[in-house]
Amino acid sequence: MLGLPGFRLLAAEEVRGELEVTVETSAARVGCDACRVVATLHDRREVVVRDVDAFWRRSRLRWRKRVCRCDEPLCAARTWTERSDAIRPRQSLAERVRKEACRRVGRGESLAAVARDRGTGWHTIMKAVREHGVPLVDDPARTASVPAVGVDETSFPEGDAAPLDPLRVGAGPSDHGPVARLDGA
């Protein structure tokens, strides 16, 4: 149901018209990165991020992160917080939302429209496009067969266009022939 490997569902409820899904990691035991001794649960810390739509409504994930502690006296590690590639630190969007946003911008939707749809600012979407789009375009295998990587300025209305490097981000048709797209389509 979750589609988030490594997580399990704890609760789901509607909060102000949005679906809020509470999750935790499914690992039964966590080892200390430094000494491999089984860690002790020290605390929980919750983070909330926007997730992909579910059941025809906006949804968000409430992740009850474990704060772990190593009790091995000789180990330098003390406490640390769980990490996941699915919900990265200091992000307001789940990683799959950031990837989806990048694909949508790559298909020609404006940053502003995607941001509005996701209830976030365009800077957040721009950051996702930079992180997930640029590595694809930089991959030589993706651009070997196209003569130019272009940007469709209609996808980046005034205000959104300034931070982009048009040589690195392909987002739509170009005047120079076929264009490498971000979405793998």
Q: Is 72 an interacting residue with respect to Zn ion (CB under 5 A)?
A: yes
The CB-of-80 to Zn ion minimum distance in angstroms stands at 10
Q: Is 136 an interacting residue with respect to Zn ion (CB under 5 A)?
A: no
Cross-strand pairs, 81: 67
Residue 183: name the closest of 95, 96, 104 by CA: 104
Q: Is 30 an interacting residue with respect to Zn ion (CB under 5 A)?
A: no
Contacts of 113 (CB under 8 A, 6+ apart): none
Rule CB under 5 A: which of 144-163 touch Zn ion?
none
**Number of neighbours of residue 132 by Cβ within 10 angstroms:** 20
Which of the ranges 28-36, 60-68, 144-152, 155-163 carries the binding residues for Zn ion, by CB under 5 A? 28-36
For 57-81, give one letter per residue: b (16+ CB within 10 A) or e. Answer: ebbbbbbebbebebeeeeeeeeebe
Q: Is 34 an interacting residue with respect to Zn ion (CB under 5 A)?
A: yes
The CB-of-39 to Zn ion minimum distance in angstroms stands at 7
CB 19 within 8 A of CB 58: yes
The CB-of-78 to Zn ion minimum distance in angstroms stands at 9
Site string for Zn ion, 76-115 (x = CB under 5 A): -x--------------------------------------
